[in-house]
Amino acid sequence: MKFNFRHFRLNNIKRKFTDWITYGRQNNSIGVSRYLIMISGVCTVGLCAMIFLNAQTPTPTTIKPDENPLYAERFAELIPEERNSIQVYEKCNKSVVNIDTRTVRTSFFGEVDEPGAGSGVILNQDGYIVTNAHVISQADVIFVTLFNGESFQATVVGEDPVTDIAVIKIAAPKNQLFPVKVGDSSKLLVGQKIFAIGNPFGLERTLTGGLISSLNRTIPGSLPSRSIKGIIQIDAAINPGNSGGLLLDTQGRMIGINTAIASRSGGSNGVGFAIPSNTVARITPQLIKNGAVKRGDIGIDTVRKIDRNGIKGLMIIKLVSDGAAEKAGLHGASVIVERYGMFERTRVDYSSADIILTVDNHKIEQVDDFTALIDEHKPNDTVVLEVLRKNKRIKISVKLE
């Protein structure tokens, strides 16, 4: 025999409650009092429930700015948006540094110093700073200026041109270094309010604001046939010198590193782009540890874009000798040598070449589509390529090296 204890208890309570009400109706002298007691009890239970539920509701994170008498004085007259902007800036502006570079060029007139400028973000109190690779690339001397005006010469720890991320380091006192809190860029939404802090035109720790205009954009990289994918598009004002600066959400968390602007005039009246914080979090530990990013090598030297007879993909022209793709059994174009007496002619037979259609079920139509997907993997990872070989679709697993 099974007992439904919940049903049993509810029925008992219901029966007792009904008897209590019936008794009250039959005894008018007591009924009114019982009704009043009942109503008071219901109200008390309801009030307690409301208090309990409110206690369970999470309150938004409050960002406490540095003690600023003027902020406290004007707090009452500031609207909520202004308070949020001020709080974010007060919390995070010390995490942004100004980067000045000097590059020595040799010209007809001798050696010439070419100055450069950008921004950076403090990662930790060990002095590691993240910035854009194009900010410090080929620089002979790098100086970092902190919020208090003190400057330190920096050394390059590592750079990754593929993602345009670099890490530099300074030997500064820990109490002068204010690391930023890193957010999760995978949870961003179009229309979300954002802030950017950087050093446009050398104007230190400038705050601008706007919205996330779009996500998962692709922009050209600094290397040929390499695009940077998953980029955040923003409408906040970005100018020369903002590169490497902070992109923040309204809670003061880093959600990206500002990297570029698409503008016909070169000014801020264009479209801004930022590298997502999750990409930064994935790349910077490798740069700090190894000085470079180790990516899986598939062993394909040359490919050619194909778009004919409804087939779109990349034809393998040349494989790396004894590379991962060759070991997996992929075919490139064949080189045929034909002899005519004392003469010989070399020609390329493309009929034997495999055409890459997908990588891990992702369609491949551009070279940078292919390289971006491979770059996401480490050595010893396995990728599955779907290729067209002599009009037949086959899948081949390749262990990257």
* Per-residue model confidence as pLDDT tens digits over 335-355: 887 777 777 778 888 888 999
Taking residues 151-177, report their average pLDDT: 93
Look at the domain 93-176 and name its fold: Thrombin, subunit H (2.40.10)
Predicted confidence band of residue 61 (pLDDT cuts 50, 70, 90): very low
Strands 246-248 and 300-308: unpaired
**Coil, helix or strand for 360?**
coil
Per-residue pLDDT at 47: 53
- pLDDT surpassing 90 at residue 193: yes
In the chain, the percentage of residues whose pLDDT exceeds 70 is 78
Helix axes 5-26, 28-56, angle to 10 degrees: 140
Rounded to a whole number of angstroms, the CA Rg of the chain reads 32
Per-residue pLDDT at 397: 95
Closest CA to 303 of 318, 321, 320: 318
pTM exceeding 0.75: no
Please give the mean pLDDT across all residues of the chain.
80
Q: Using an 8 Å Cβ cutoff, are 260 and 119 in contact?
A: no
Alpha-carbon torsion 286, 290, 296, 301, what sign? positive
- Segment 4-17, tens digit of pLDDT: 333 333 344 444 44
Per-residue pLDDT at 110: 66
DSSP string of 118-165, one letter each residue: EEEEE--TTSEEEEEHHHHTT-SEEEEE-TTS-EEE-EEEEEETTTTE
CATH code of domain 300-399 = 2.30.42.10
**Coil, helix or strand for 248?**
strand
Per-residue pLDDT at 220: 77
Per-residue pLDDT at 382: 95
Taking residues 258-263, report their average pLDDT: 73
- Segment 311-333, tens digit of pLDDT: 899 999 999 889 999 999 999 98
* Residues forming the active site: 134, 164, 243
Taking residues 201-223, report their average pLDDT: 83
Q: Using an 8 Å Cβ cutoff, are 344 and 337 in contact?
A: yes
**185-290 is classed CATH 3.30.1490.70:** no
